[in-house]
Amino acid sequence: MKRSSRWNSAAVPPSSFSSPLSQHRLCPLPASHTTRLTSLTPLVDCHLLHFTLAPVSGAIAARATTRYLARARAHYRTPSSTTRLVRPTTMATATVRAPVKPPLIKKGSYEGQLPSCWGHRGASAAFPENTLASFEAAIRDGAEGIESGKSRLGDSGSERWLSAPGPALISPNTLGFVATDVHITEDSEIVMFHDPHLDRTTNGTGRIQTQKYYGVLDKLVTNKSPQQKIPTFRETIELLMRPDNRSVFLNIDVKVDNDPERLFKLMHEIIAQYPDYETVLGPRLVLGLWHPKYVEPAVRLLPYMKRAHIGLSPGLARKYFWEACSSFSMNFSCLVGGDGEAFRRECKAAGKDLYVWTVNERREMIEATKWGVKAILTDRTAEFLKLREQIEDDWPSVSRETSWKFAYTSFWYSSLANFFISRYELYVLTATAGEFKLVR
């Protein structure tokens, strides 16, 4: 088919491209000009070609779509004050709109440090929460290519996982992160347990604080399989102090029904048993505080440990914990809206680390990565680590899975929902541990 359009002598020489279905070719044009597609002659018989034009870093991306693979020759012209475009005999025109999206990022070009992966109550999606098996699984998930030190025994068709000495759980050069909770028993043993009662996760009943560990709690097992015993703080520290786990961090969620003086003294007694604990162990322990009454005892009794506020309200975090804490572990939903976005900016400007919990959905993991948080607490450590590999390989593709519309995809991300949640948080914490007071 003969081209019917004609150009004057001052016209820019025609440029052409061959574009099969669903492929792209960039035609460079100055972004400062209004660009018009001035000539289009399909080389297929009477099949319409639709072009989608979008400015991309000073270029036009033209995509040809047709029922058949087609080749097209596009002629473009950039009008200026010195040259005049001669309208061709056959012409299809389309005005390019101003850019509405940020420039595309080159493949694999994620900027900054990816969020660390913290196992929430260990790897609690696969193992019973707050057990040594769960902690070890979280560490193992973070150790790429490292074999776990576990053995599996069959018992009447069932399988039970047992900790066993053997290969390293984590490379000495790899960071691992575990988040857990603590309570004190009647005989002053610190146990790793989330609830104040035993009923939900074990075959026991009643409050932890009113029962002894030795002879009572140490006989209990988890309801979830593979069944595990309730671990102690002492056993967890031993896990961290294994030679191959010296890069593992432990985030300790201090529940507000604990007496701060008693708890922190018992913790110090266990930690201080290790040589050079202030430099070898202490910096790897993060003390998570919900209530401001725990700040002063933590500074006095555990000065070598980092302090983080755990909460659901940026407002409470600013007012009561900003000066005392170097990091903030916040519920994901409270950081989505306007106040949460402002809090994220404030943390970045002040150099304070920001962690988010509990992030188990892929889209939330991607959004938190866009925020640039220090760490993501998740029950699904293996899934998040796999996502991190995808981000490192092709961040532009992964980042397009969420957009500015994300904030409107759930009621729990709204300012209204987070207002009532923060009020409820303050009510519960005040009723349990007393009035919030500023710590000087």
- Beta-carbon contacts of 299 under 8 Å, excluding residues fewer than 6 positions away, are 307, 324
Closest CA to 102 of 111, 93, 94: 111
Q: How far apart are alpha carbons 208 and 220 in whole angstroms?
A: 12
* Joined tokens for residue 420: 């009532």
End-to-end CA distance of the chain: 84
Contact (Cβ atoms closer than 8 angstroms) between residue 328 and residue 308: yes
Domain 116-146+173-433 has CATH 3.90.550.10: no
CA 234 to each of CA 166, 167, 226: distance values in angstroms, whole numbers, following the listed order = 21, 22, 22
- Beta-carbon contacts of 82 under 8 Å, excluding residues fewer than 6 positions away, are 10
What is the model's pLDDT at position 108? 58
3-state secondary structure of 363: helix
pLDDT, one tens digit per residue, over 73-94 is 333 333 343 434 334 343 333 3
Position 289 pLDDT exceeds 90: yes
pLDDT, one tens digit per residue, over 135-144 is 777 677 653 2
Give φ, ψ of 154 to 5 degrees: -90, 140
Position 173 pLDDT exceeds 90: no
Q: Domain residue spans in the chain?
A: 116-146+173-433
* Joined tokens for residue 31: 């972004």
- Beta-carbon contacts of 74 under 8 Å, excluding residues fewer than 6 positions away, are 15, 16, 17, 27, 37, 39, 40, 51, 62
- Beta-carbon contacts of 141 under 8 Å, excluding residues fewer than 6 positions away, are 117, 119, 123, 381, 382, 385
pLDDT-derived band of residue 60, with 50, 70 and 90 as boundaries?
very low
What is the model's pLDDT at position 377? 86
* Joined tokens for residue 404: 């500015």
What is the model's pLDDT at position 382? 83
pLDDT, one tens digit per residue, over 17-42 is 333 333 443 334 344 443 333 333 33
Amino acid at 165: P
C-alpha R_g of the chain: 30
Residue with tokens 């599996």: 152
pLDDT-derived band of residue 51, with 50, 70 and 90 as boundaries?
very low
pLDDT-derived band of residue 134, with 50, 70 and 90 as boundaries?
confident
Specify the pairing of strand 327-331 against strand 59-65. unpaired
User: Please, what is the average pLDDT of the chain?
Assistant: 73
Closest CA to 308 of 376, 241, 362, 254: 254
Q: Is 320 exposed, middle or buried (0-12, 13-18, 19+ CB in 10 A)?
A: buried
